[in-house]
Chains A and B, each alone.
Chain A
Amino acid sequence: MTVTALQTGIHPAVDGGLLLEVTNVSIQTDSIVSITFADPSGGPLPSYVPGSHLVVQYGTGVNAYSLTGSGSAPSEYAISVLQVEDGGGGSVAMHRLSVGDRVQVSRPRSAFAPVSTATHHLLVAAGIGITPILSHARAAAERGIPASVIYVHRRGAGAHVADASELLSRGLTELIECTDRGSFQQVLTEKLTTQELGTHLYVCGPDPFMNTVLDQAREHGWSQARLHSEAFGAAELDEGEPFTVNLVRSGIRLDVPAGVSLLETLEKAGKSIPNMCRKGICGECSLSVLRGTPQHRDLYLSDQEKAANTTMMCCVSRSDDPELELDL
């Protein structure tokens, strides 16, 4: 896809994604805005798994935001963003967006999916954590699967309260709002001890909140496979540190920038490296390492082979040392 990017360059995390236009911005609360994106030519957008997030580029950085729709054949993607003054700047940039702006985004990514065999979803949200929970609630209502939402927010400061309430008439089983710690604790204990066997629990909110909910669930005998929490998959956005490779046989040194793979760097330099999957599984792009410690990110090498540090898969693996010497 050819993209007329407003930004200086496309961040690797959104490369191969979509260029979308802001079609609506609406104030949810004092500190939360909802932003809607659509295809500039009005085309349909890819469906997504409930609980998915979108990686959005701002300037040279990226941030992940949960999509709030059910994910079924959407014509728009909607996110809600809490302004974080001391954050990385993403939320401030999002709050500055206005209708007509174009933004480079990833395809929706799934890391907080509903379990298809569940006969009841217990959905627990705190604050801005309501966003993926709303997506789950909408999808459950569409599919006719019972779902209960427990939503903790400050009095008068809950985003999407109206959206969640509206779902009650469209199949959502119950919505319990809690505005103080005591009432939430009571509701949580009651819910954790009275669920029929097909129930799964999903939680999203600040880390300490999620940990509290998950710990209590475990104490009440919930097995790990029933517990689902949104972690925004930090690893998948990890573009790695820049490093240098010294190609001993060719007598060339190449810089591998952050966010660019060693394989791509070698290809750009005119080296033809056999490769197939470019995902670290097929083993085709194996290279011999003469010096330095590779940072192994592949699924191909055994633990033993990885520990030997003599071979690396250049499509995904990088370097722990500033420089690697390769037999190339």
Chain B
Amino acid sequence: MRSASMPPAAGTGLEPGFRGVICASFGSTGDTAEQHSGGRPRHDLRFESANPETLSDLRSALGRSHVGVRLVLAGPQSDIRAAAAAAAECGLLEEEVILLSDGMGPSVIYCPHCRITTTVRAASPEVACQGCATTLAITDHFSRRIGAYLGYSAHAEEAS
């Protein structure tokens, strides 16, 4: 099934059948994951950011581990949310993943009108969609699958 189609672990150094705690940190986050391993065997993964390549490394680490494993994700919201979505696809359940957000960093906004996501660096109620240039109002409705907040055309009802 899923594990058979996994690429071989890309240098994660994780022994097959690992059932301890995998701590994956993104960006310059410090070792916040430490206090969450609870004395169990621990394996650290450090990534610059969540991108297709690093998420594939994470998947491969999860593919080698067995039921019993826990995952701690530390770093900016957008990175750890994307990693959590990848972990869920690998069969990890909500109660087996701990998210440690460092409370900063960009957030990702989904445009339902053109289905493109835009990354927002500063806190702001509106953003111009990178896909269709619509000014989007940003809501706090969040999709863990897409890893983004919902936006919508901010001024559609106002007279043009």
Contact = CB atoms under 8 A, between A and B. Distances in A.
What is the predominant secondary structure among interface residues of chain B facing chain A?
A: loop
A137 B62 CA distance: 27
Contact of A225 (B3, B62, B66, B95): B95
A198 B19 contact: no
A224 B95 contact: yes
Contact of B1 (A119, A193, A195): A119
A197 B90 contact: yes
B91 interface: yes
Interface residues of B, number: 20
Counting chain A residues whose Cβ lies within 8 A of the other chain, the interface size class is: 10 to 19
What is the predominant secondary structure among interface residues of chain A facing chain B?
A: loop
B92 A197 contact: yes
A197 B62 contact: yes
Contacts of A198: 1-2, 90-91
Given A198-B1, A221-B70, A226-B67, A193 B19 contact: yes
B93 interface: yes
Contacts of B95: 223-225
Interface string B89-105: 01111111000000000
3 closest Cβ pairs, A-B complex: A221-B68, A197-B91, A198-B91
9 contacts: A120-B1, A192-B68, A193-B66, A195-B67, A196-B1, A197-B69, A198-B91, A222-B68, A223-B95
B17 interface: yes
A199 interface: yes
Most buried by B among A193, A194, A197: A197
Given A119-B2, A193-B17, A225 B67 contact: no
Given A195-B66, A197-B69, A198-B2, 4 more contacts: A196-B1, A196-B63, A196-B66, A197-B91
